[in-house]
A and B are shown apart, each in its own frame.
Chain A
Amino acid sequence: KAGVTQTPRYLIKTRGQQVTLSCSPISGHRSVSWYQQTPGQGLQFLFEYFSETQRNKGNFPGRFSGRQFSNSRSEMNVSTLELGDSALYLCASSLETGMSYGYTFGSGTRLTVV
């Protein structure tokens, strides 16, 4: 079966712009979580969506937001981009919320802010 699909794979944006990243979970998975990965901070939790509702949120500013659609696909948005937002953004899907079974990660979107 298809894995977690993230689009686009690579993105270059300018400071001050906004960006939207997309994630399609594994078929049947209803929970989608987003992580930011940087060399300096490692893997940091952004938020989790389940049944179109945000269930958990990490310690990121309000410029980072997300949503989930009725088909479980999710998008995350970063507004007013800063150089420090350059990172690999990973999406992970799971059958249910609460993390009982572990995530399956996508390959990520590499965002570069210049």
Chain B
Amino acid sequence: GESVGLHLPTLSVQEGDNSIINCAYSNSASDYFIWYKQESGKGPQFIIDIRSNMDKRQGQRVTVLLNKTVKHLSLQIAATQPGDSAVYFCAERMTTDSWGKLQFGAGTQVVVTP
């Protein structure tokens, strides 16, 4: 029968607006988190990371917020540009059963409209 694929949530953003992408992570013992961007036909590209002893980290046009109480991670992109259209993944470093591997979220499709 037909396989059911992951239904990626889609965030539609107007060019120039700010984007917020959310991610719920699974393991309260995870200590390191990364956001990746994947464009069509390419591998995931590192955007920004944050360690569990921090709440916020800023990069160029991007900010990552970490809320350990509710196991929530967000990526904010300022002044979204057409080149920001891609799938965005959050990833957590597992420290319990398989120390060192990354577990990825399902991803969010960001579509930037003119």
Contacts and interface: CB of A to CB of B under 8 A. Distances in A.
Interface of A: 4, 33, 35, 38-43, 45, 48, 55-58, 90, 92, 97-100, 102-108
Interface of B: 3-6, 32, 34, 36, 41-46, 49, 89, 93, 98-107
Given A58-B101, A105-B43, A99 B32 contact: yes
Given A40-B3, A40-B5, A45 B103 contact: yes
Contacts, number: 64
Contact of A45 (B5, B36, B101, B106): B101
Main secondary structure of the interface of B (DSSP, over half): loop
Contacts of A57: 98
Contacts of B102: 33, 45, 99, 103
Contacts of A41: 6
